Amino acid sequence: MAEPLPWCHLDGAILPLRDARISPLDRGFLFADAVYEVVPVYGGRPFRFAEHLARLERSLGEIGIVNPLDAEGWRGMAGTLIGRNGGGDQYLYLQVSRGAEYGRNHAPPAGLRPTVFAFCATLPARDPDSLARGLRCVTAPDIRWARCDIKTVALLANVMLRGMAERAGAHETILLRDGMLTESSSSAVHVVIDGVLVAPPETPAILPGTTRAVVEELADAAGITRATRPISERELRGAEEIWLSAAVRGLAAVTELDGRPVGSGRPGPLWQRLHADFAALIERLAATPW
């Protein structure tokens, strides 16, 4: 990931990121009692900002934190921070913890003031050669907790799974639970089976993906047949194409899985089509007000 940009937001103030401090008793630090969002920004314009805010609101509601800002408050803060960091292409990280108390109690006391933190980083450029080669992935059992539909900062299992990929010389780990595909350590997974674009149903084992939704909208607009249904390990391994989608990654083709080629071993024709449509959508939206 790219180096962070110099300015951040912390509890209503814009300040240098290197000067930002929170209490060591903050529940996000002690318990991972916090949720977050990552929003890509193109040409200074947050992409699908309303959808990211809706998911943040849902995550907060699921763990019982009252949203500390309304939609206009989030919008104003995001616009100010993006502008202070120079606009252009970047990504915006938003995090809300339950706040700090004087002590450490598993059951959260009432009346805590949430901690609101945000920072930006340069959006990594998509290397044409890397896009043409695709990604190498490995598979592993899904060892994450039972509520992956909440975008919580409790990402230790994801960190371990991504580390597994790094040690194997791969880019990402694709996860299987009880013989069925869930997602990867940091992305949604799409699979092409018999010419049909298939994704697993959104359950508590899967994070509702904002970028996944964009891919599905583009597939519908392009007339590509798609389905939402469980995907077995056998189907995953025999797929014609496998894709990953995520806010910062965008849409990427997987060309190797556990050392074996996916399809032809090159990004497939449906990915080529949807990737071009995705890039065109970003280019159109980057020039419009948000």
Candidate list 151, 177, 190, 249, residue with the active-site label? 151
Furthest-apart CA atoms within the chain: distance in Å: 58
Distances (CA, A) of 29 to 26, 57, 114, 164: 5, 21, 13, 25
> Is residue 50 annotated as a catalytic residue, yes or no?
no
Q: What CA–CA distances, in Å, run from 170 to 12, 124, 137, 164, 254?
A: 40, 18, 5, 8, 10
The neighbour count for residue 74, using CB atoms within 10 Å, is 23
Burial of 223 (C-beta count, 10 Å sphere; 0-12/13-18/19+): exposed
Question: Tokens 């089976």, residue?
Answer: 193
- The answer to whether residues 153 and 36 touch, using CB atoms and an 8 Å cutoff, is yes
At 161, list the tokens: 């799974």
Q: What are the angstrom distances between the C-alpha of 105 and each of 99, 101, 115?
A: 12, 9, 17
Cα(101)–Cα(48) distance, integer angstroms: 34
Please report which residue ranges of 120-192 form alpha helices under DSSP H: 128-133, 156-167
Residue 118 pairs in a beta bridge with 9, 94
- In sequence order, what are the residues at sequence separation of 6 or more whose Cβ sits closer than 8 angstroms to the Cβ of residue 136? 169, 170, 171, 254, 255, 256
Catalytic positions, written as ranges = 151
